[in-house]
Amino acid sequence: MANNPHGGVLKDLVARDARISAQLREEAAGLSDIVLTERQLCDLELIMNGGFSPLEGFMNEKDYKSVVDILRLADGTLFPIPITLDVSKEKIEKLSIQSGSRLALRDPRDDEALAVLTVDDLYTPERVKEAEQVFGADDPAHPSVAYLRNRVQDFYVGGAIQAIQPPTHVDYVELRYTPSELRSHFKKLSWRKVVAFQTRNPMHRAHRELTIRAARQRQANVLIHPVVGLTKPGDVDHYTRVRVYKAIMAKYPNGMGHLALLPLAMRMAGPREAVWHAIIRKNYGATHFIVGRDHAGPGKNSQGKDFYGPYDAQDLVSQYHEELQIEMVPFQQMTYLPSTDEYQPIDQVPQGVETLDISGTELRRRLKTGAPIPDWFSYDAVVKTLRESYPPRDKQGFVVLFTGLYNSGKDTIAKALQVTFNEQGGRSVSLLLGEDVQEDKVEKSYTPQERHVNAMRIAFVSAELARAGAAVIAAPIAPVEATRQSIKDTVIHSGGPGGNFFLVHVATPLEHCEKTDRKGVYARARKGDITGFVGVDSTYEAPAKADLVVDMAVQSLSEIVHSIVLLLETNGLL
Ligand code: ADP
């Protein structure tokens, strides 16, 4: 490893172009725009601040092919991951993008021009080859292969960048450092050796032990350098994680560690990703870099096997150790030894000594059920933070959606259920009847489209309330299967722990609904005073898969309410 205080040549384009950035901004106002995707935005930020040094732009075809084939830029410099700007064919044609064009690259969140790109070339992605070479298999179970297949546009546009300004962040500004800032920080603290720790997950005791052990081995300080750009879909959100990281920093001996956030878009490319991470941490001024078990692993492939071996990443990083300018600190899996209350890498545990581990799946189960998480695994402050973001089911919000004909009894059941929930307490309760979101409360003619729009308003509000932990009872007529599916999707994908959804079909027969209609609304519909009336001149599609089917013609109200309570209890919500 070549000598490195602190990190070698840095291509800080923001600093380089500072004098001309006002000029560039003016020029950008007159240029064709590319509004970046979230991933491109992360990549651009690291190109501009030097995190991806020696890159000075998005890769042209020569660099792309060489990186895909041999993990090197065309000039031979080690760089294992293609950093490419994909643009659609329509956009290329519409803007007449060609070699020599200058394009303004804009932030998708606030439309600010961040950089000007001078197009070097346009070329087509070699999707299958890129998947096989970079990610190890053309298997869409790999999140980056799925991204390549479904999201990456028809062309890659290569070219150098001139920086106008870095993207503006409003979250955790005090924890964000550019490579230059972090290098200066280390210098200021006289930290000559810094071991960087990459992570995309909440940290627990094993991770603290791992990093402190690395620091001890190398007589170094510790940089906790978590990724807050894009990680694996389904990961714990970065707000929760940063709260966890702040809590765990307090568990380090004073002055040993530093926390800085990295706006990287991970690719989950295992071994190649580890080499990339090492280069990035070198650029940020670290001298050492931890690679543990299954570094940046994407999980299982479509055959149910791990994409990469647990120590493949360490093997690939060692292959390049001569030229990396950062030293890897490899670790086997850290595991807990109850007999001595300590963590050890598994290869150093003497035979026959008992070990304990809690897997990610088991941890998620314990958070879900509220089961205890032992002190040997984590810290109170960390567990408390995770429990706030992932409350157990009896604290999570949920939506009970009633569907059924007019006067089927669904409003009566909904109101009775509201009373039951109010009696039970513990959650705020919201009742959203169909008529509450209509313009006036009188039954009148509605088109199917109007009914859909109404139902989707209810869906939006229900999802928001459930996300905030409420018990939501919603009762639009929702006569169409597609509408009910959209409501369900809105609730389930609302994010956070509120995605609990139950469909109750109030299947009271039309005859009964009509016979007991004291307001005479069916009579008005039969006469033609109201049109588009569900059950009369507009069809009701019965749900194919309701969670519960009830019928007011044959069941009592309390029986029905009790069956709903049992359904929720079975699902751990009450
Ligand atoms: P990723 O590697 O995708 O960032 P993590 O945040 O889980 O995922 O891991 C961060 C780093 O810590 C990686 O180098 C990983 O190999 C290492 N690591 C995590 N848990 C352990 C463990 N129990 N034993 C050894 N290494 C670990």
Domains of the chain in start order, with CATH, are: 2-163 (3.10.400.10), 175-262+268-336+344-348 (3.40.50.620), 393-570 (3.40.50.300)
Distance CA 542, CA 539 (A): 9
Distance 94 CA to ligand 1 centre (A): 45
Q: What is the pLDDT of residue 7?
A: 73
At a CB cut-off of 8 Å and minimum separation 6, what does 305 contact? none
Cα end-to-end span (Å), the chain = 59
pLDDT band of 1, cuts 50, 70, 90: very low
Residue 514 beta carbon below 6 angstroms from any ligand 1 atom: no
Residue 273 beta carbon below 6 angstroms from any ligand 1 atom: no
Q: What is the pLDDT of residue 2?
A: 44
Span 279-302, mean pLDDT? 97
Whether 98 has a pLDDT exceeding 70, the answer reads yes
Q: Which of 201, 301, 516, 571 is catalytic?
A: 201
Whether 200 sits among the annotated catalytic residues: the reply is: yes
Whether 495 has a pLDDT exceeding 90, the answer reads no
Span 334-343, mean pLDDT? 97
**Which residues are paired to 259 by β-bridges?**
224
Residue 295 beta carbon below 6 angstroms from any ligand 1 atom: yes
Residue 47 tokens, joined: 């190109």
pLDDT band of 156, cuts 50, 70, 90: very high
Residue 414 beta carbon below 6 angstroms from any ligand 1 atom: no
Question: Which residue's CA is the closest to the ligand 1 atom numbered 7?
Answer: 201
Question: Which residue's CA is the closest to the ligand 1 atom numbered 25?
Answer: 333
State yes or no: 293 annotated in a binding site. yes
Contact 272, 316 (CB under 8 A): yes
The mean predicted confidence, pLDDT, of the chain is 95
- Sequence-distant contacts of 17-20: CB under 8 A, at least 24 apart: 17/162, 17/163, 17/164, 20/162
Residue 289 tokens, joined: 């870099």
**Which residues are paired to 226 by β-bridges?**
199
State yes or no: 292 annotated in a binding site. yes
Residue 290 beta carbon below 6 angstroms from any ligand 1 atom: yes
**Which residues are paired to 103 by β-bridges?**
32, 117
Distance CA 185, CA 1 (A): 23
Contact 232, 222 (CB under 8 A): no
- Helix or strand (DSSP H, E) at 489: helix 481-492
Beta strands in 397-542 (DSSP E): 398-404, 429-433, 471-475, 500-506
Residue 378 beta carbon below 6 angstroms from any ligand 1 atom: no
Q: Which of ligand 1's atoms lies nearest the C-alpha of 296? A: 3
Range with lowest mean pLDDT among 47-61, 446-460, 541-555: 446-460
Let me know if 388 is exposed, middle or buried by CB neighbors in 10 A (0-12, 13-18, 19+). Answer: exposed
Distance 273 CA to ligand 1 centre (A): 13
Residue 206 beta carbon below 6 angstroms from any ligand 1 atom: yes
Question: Which residue's CA is the closest to the ligand 1 atom numbered 9?
Answer: 199
Span 224-231, mean pLDDT? 97
pTM of the predicted protein model: 0.87
State yes or no: 495 annotated in a binding site. no
Span 338-353, mean pLDDT? 95
State yes or no: 420 annotated in a binding site. no
Q: Which of ligand 1's atoms lies nearest the C-alpha of 346? A: 24
